[in-house]
Amino acid sequence: MALTGVIRPGHCQLRVLDLEASIQFYTKVMGLKLMGRDASGRAYFKCLEERDHHSLILRQAHKPGMDFYGFKVRDTHALKQIESDLRAHGVRTERIPAGDLLETGERVRFESPTGHIFELYAEKKDVGNEMGYLNPDVIIDGRIGISPIRLDHWQIHGADIDGSRDLFTKVLGFSVAERILMDDGQSDAAVWLTCSNKAHDIAFVRDERDNTLHHLSFLLGTWEQVLKAADVMGMHRVFIDEGPMRHGITKGTTIYAFDPSGNRFETFCGGYDFYPDMQPTVWTADQMGRGVFYHTGELNERFLTVVT
């Protein structure tokens, strides 16, 4: 499909309780590359196969969670048009100047009905993917830890997921790929949205706790790499929430675990190709467990309740 507006998740800023310990975790265990720090002390990271300067920013804070979620748009014309569309929809926007984040251009920031802060940007320095653009090799030598391919998606929670779903579909051009219905058989308990041909780029789950994060997800290439991620987590005594196992929703394979600050992250592989002429896959409330964890059909209480 032609990606002409919002094209993919680009970055997010995560709050951590101990910045130095978190830097060690995200470099040695997760295998991300530290790209630098800014004047305020924030640390910037990229996955080795990502080409833009960074996708994850860590900030020292008193409580864990996510400050904002950034999507990259096709170009500056698209950024201007989407900003105009947001305002026409009644959404207040704010321009964040270039350079506020390292190697990043101007950003347009707005708040969703679920209380989350999103931003859109068109420009970020291309630093390459460790293999180069001219006659590249096909693998990156000396990878450390889990070493995912990219920051892939987020699952976030809030009360007004209908408003956020409509904002993302009617204004930002996302499609609904999958949904879980509530007991009434009509209302959405959760929706998986895509701006590309992936099964999802973001998921919203109905929850009275606005502006909360369930997990950020990193993409791996194969089921075997998901199993290796479990071995790495075991070796480093990382607390695993669920997995390794398979989702019914999106059909991906997965592990959920927690970083040292209590932020949940996912190592994810698979899924299916989505195209905008496809109808959403629908899961009924009584099949939620099977939809989320296909093998066991069960959800533990921690997975259902813990957010940051």
Q: Please state the domain extents for the chain.
A: 6-121, 150-305
CA separation for the pair 289, 278 (Å, rounded): 24
- Residue 101: helix, strand or coil by DSSP? coil
CA separation for the pair 19, 25 (Å, rounded): 10
Pick the catalytic residue: 26, 200, 214, 242?
200
From 249, 114, 94, select the one nearest 168 (Cα to Cα). 114
Strands (E), the chain: 6-16, 33-37, 43-46, 56-60, 65-73, 93-96, 107-111, 117-121, 150-158, 175-181, 188-194, 202-206, 212-219, 240-246, 253-258, 264-269, 281-283
- Name the amino acid, one letter, at 244: P
* Helix-, strand-, coil-residue percentages of the chain, each rounded to 5: 20, 35, 45
Q: What is the structure's pLDDT at 143?
A: 95
Pick the catalytic residue: 119, 121, 215, 242?
215
CA separation for the pair 70, 120 (Å, rounded): 6
Q: What is the structure's pLDDT at 2?
A: 56
Pick the catalytic residue: 153, 157, 178, 214?
153
Domain at 6-121, CATH homologous superfamily:
2,3-Dihydroxybiphenyl 1,2-Dioxygenase, domain 1 (3.10.180.10)
Question: Under CATH, what is the fold of the domain 150-305?
Answer: 2,3-Dihydroxybiphenyl 1,2-Dioxygenase; domain 1 (3.10.180)
Equal CATH topology for 6-121 and 150-305: yes
Pick the catalytic residue: 94, 247, 295, 301?
247
pLDDT digits (tens, 9 = 90+) for 126-153: 999 989 999 999 999 999 999 999 999 9
Q: Does the annotation mark 247 as catalytic?
A: yes
Pick the catalytic residue: 50, 83, 242, 266?
266
pLDDT digits (tens, 9 = 90+) for 196-212: 999 999 999 999 999 99
- Do residues 2 and 195 touch, judged by C-beta distance below 8 A? no
Pick the catalytic residue: 256, 272, 295, 301?
256
Question: Under the phi-then-psi rule, with left for phi > 0, alpha for psi from -120 to 50, and beta for the rest, what region is 92?
Answer: beta
Question: How far is CA 166 from each of CA 113, 173, 176, 228, 294, rounded to the nearest angstrom?
Answer: 10, 10, 10, 38, 28
CA separation for the pair 107, 120 (Å, rounded): 5
Q: Does the annotation mark 116 as catalytic?
A: no
Q: Does the annotation mark 200 as catalytic?
A: yes
Distance of CA 242 to the CA centre of its chain: 18
Q: Does the annotation mark 49 as catalytic?
A: no
39-78 b/e (C-beta count within 10 Å ≥ 16 → b): eeebbbbbbbbbbbbbbbbbebeeebbbbbbbbbbbeeeb
Neighbour tally for 90: CB within 10 Å: 8
- Do residues 79 and 124 touch, judged by C-beta distance below 8 A? no
Q: What is the structure's pLDDT at 4?
A: 76
Q: What is the structure's pLDDT at 3?
A: 74
Residues of the chain under the 70 pLDDT cut: 1-2
